[in-house]
A = this chain, B = another copy of it.
Amino acid sequence: MLKEITGGITAPQGFKAAGIKAGIKKSGKEDVAIIYSTQPAAAAAVFTTNIMAAAPVVVSRKHVAGGKASAFIVNSGCANACTGEQGMTDAVAMADITAEALNVTPEEVLVASTGIIGVTMPMDKVTAGIHSAVKAMSVEGHQQAAQAILTTDTFLKICAYEFELGGKTVRIAGIAKGSGMIHPNMATMLGFVTTDAAISAPALKQALSEAVGVSFNMVTVDGDTSTNDMVGVMANGLAGNPVINDTTGDDYQAFKSALTTLCTTLAKLVARDGEGATKFLEVNVCGAASFDDAKKAAMAIAKSPLVKTAFFGQDPNWGRILCAVGYSEATVVPEKTSLAIGGITIVEKGLGAQYDEQALRTVMADHDIVVQVDLNVGPAKATVWTCDFSYEYVKINGEYHT
């Protein structure tokens, strides 16, 4: 019942955004984004599990603990990671400066950064950039905001839906930034979601956690978990639906479903725009003993350089796929494991099947390819999205010199 709509991150009522050029990026492109809710919003966020978490992650984790927010302030071009005490001071300052300009408390501002690791923030440019962004904020600014959070992504990642909740029309929208370390020293998958749904902070937190678990957390480009990953959501309640508190009710389910679809759409865009990608791969594992097992098997396939280079070479190399399943640590019985690529059965319960080689060549030449593994040992399933591994990946990541 979701309806896709235009308007991006400011499509929900009561949100403004801007993306401006602060001069942090050498390219001169947009590099400071602000997303602002005119009404204080319930807020939730999930962060990288990397112990080397960047300063903005530390600050935002603290601020979001209060369960409310008025703004996301985001810069690209500098990750503010591995920057020690100065980095913490700068991340705190970014929240303070934004809060003062918006007349809110610093705790209502969530900070995110992406870019070069190990370099301290050019705070003069950042400060001026925040002031410019606050002045520039508008409902029309959503596209510039989506642009300003990118590093070398090749396209904007924007998604917005409308749906009914408790008799009211509710909107939910998001923008994202590609995963993978798109330049040397560049990092980070970022996602920002806005909605005018009315929902309590604890319910929002749980919905985000569940949605991210089957969307952003199911994307891999090169298996590296960045220092700066963050997905945040603000829900300002302006849609006027009855406030969602009960996480067992229908309204919660409807909201979570919309949020999950939104996050999944954004996550798939991230995989599709992986570094040097020439293929978009959907890896489905079913028949697993548990969701964790299904995810382990799917991730092992999606992360294997051998599998990824085979897809780049359009080689239906099923031995590598089974091999990855075999070391995934999922419960696997070789004699029960089946594999299909693009709907063509390649392996039937552990044994190579007869298949139409020409049909398989056609599948392997497609841009979008579905890999389906049936472990045949249980009821659970999982889907992971990834891309192939190309010369261009090596070029992007090896030929750039810091």
Q: How far is the CA of A244 from the CA of B215 in the complex (A)?
A: 57
- A117, A303, A390: most-surrounded residue (chain B CB, <10 A): A117
- Determine whether the beta carbon of A309 is less than 8 Å from that of B49: no
- A49, A51, A327: most-surrounded residue (chain B CB, <10 A): A51
- Give A171-204 interface residues, CB cut-off 8 Å to B: 181, 184-185, 187
CB distance from A205 to the nearest CB of B (A): 23
Q: How far is the CA of A320 from the CA of B223 in the complex (A)?
A: 12
Q: Does A128 contact B (CB under 8 A)?
A: no
Interfacial chain B residues near A398, Cβ < 8 Å: 309-310, 312-313, 315, 389-390
Q: How far is the CA of A187 from the CA of B317 in the complex (A)?
A: 12
CB distance from A310 to the nearest CB of B (A): 6
* Prevailing SS type, chain A contact patch: loop
- Determine whether the beta carbon of B118 is less than 8 Å from that of A318: yes
Chain A 340-382, CB-CB to B under 8 Å as 1, else 0, gives 0000000100111000000000000000000000000000000
Interfacial chain B residues near A317, Cβ < 8 Å: 184-185, 402
- Determine whether the beta carbon of A184 is less than 8 Å from that of B320: yes
User: A interface, how many residues as a size bin?
Assistant: 35 or more
Contact A82/B319 with A52-B332, A326-B227, A332-B51 known, Cβ cut-off 8 Å:
yes
Q: Does A271 contact B (CB under 8 A)?
A: no
Q: Which of chain B's residues has its CB closest to A398's CB?
A: B313
Q: How far is the CA of A389 from the CA of B305 in the complex (A)?
A: 10
Q: Which of chain B's residues has its CB closest to A187's CB?
A: B323
A interface list, Cβ under 8 A from B: 49-53, 79, 81-84, 116-119, 181, 184-185, 187, 222-227, 303-306, 309-310, 312-320, 322-327, 332-335, 337, 347, 350-352, 389-391, 393-395, 397-402
